Amino acid sequence: MEDQNQESSDPVVALSLCDSTPLLWRAQDLRTVRSQSVVGALLGSLPRAPRQNLKLGRPLLLLPEEERLLRERHAAAFPPRNQDVERAEFQQQYEEEQQRSFEEQSVFALEDRKSALQRAMTSSQSALQRRLLDLDQNFTFPRSALAIQLSTTRAGLNYCPEARAFLQLDWPIRDQGNAQFDTRYLVFRDLWGRGFFLTSAGKFGGDFLVYPGDPLRFHAHFIAICLSLDEPVSLLDILAAARLGCNVKKTVLLCSPAPNGPVHYTSVQWSGMV
């Protein structure tokens, strides 16, 4: 059996960034990473069923550990970009879109003004025609009245350093140079190398859900919690994790990578009160 940790001979998938989030868009890329035991999470709506969230489609959101694993194995890469050229293109595209919107709104405003004038002047048709002709020749739509669309979706926590520091988030902020992220990645890489499938375990109070096979065919067996070897852990936290694992019929794994060594695993199961 060929070692999964060696560089892959599969085609290199193209990663794209939405703000700080790595996404895969092409169907062949989704098939490629799935064949490498990388699961991700679908985000997009289906064209024929957009108003539901039971069945989702592309793009595929990758965990930061999945992105790093693929890039280390040279199985994924970001397309080469010229940021200055892109910025100029986006600026030109934005200005052209604003100009088109201004012209469309000018036409609508003129038609609205004509409709109001016609409703107000019903007695003299000749006077109405003169006013309409004058309106066509002299009407101007001020740019200050231009309606623009404002994005209302939350862009993340990168604009709020206080909240980021309080929550100690490293996602979606692309800050992957800290010890906590390295610990998570070493555990992810080790479990992935053993043939397990991993997804996020945020709903279960852990770092990863660990599946013995494809999540479409198997339930998760473990909840992996990543800790450094010298990190103190409260006994109440261990009891809470064990009780939660018992309730969802999963075994809690405390995973601690050793410096320049293997990852140490400790299984925790709830057996009852003494």
How far, in Å, CA of 156 to CA of 19, rounded? 9
Q: Is 264 a catalytic residue?
A: no
> Annotated catalytic, 74?
no
CA 61, distance to chain mean position in Å, is 5
Quick one: DSSP state of residue 151?
Answer: -
**Active-site residue, from 159, 219, 249, 264:** 219
Q: Say whether 265 is catalytic.
A: no
Query: 213 with 194: CB under 8 angstroms?
Result: no
The end-to-end CA distance of the chain, in Å, is 46
CB atoms within 10 A of CB 30: 19
Cis preceding linkage at 172, omega within 30? yes
Residue 160 has, within 13 A of its CA and on its CB side, a CA count of 11
Of 114, 185, 203, 250, the catalytic one is: 250
H-state helical runs in the chain: 27-35, 64-72, 83-120, 125-138, 161-167, 179-193, 235-247
Q: Active-site residue among 55, 159, 185, 211?
A: 211
Catalytic residues: 211, 219, 250
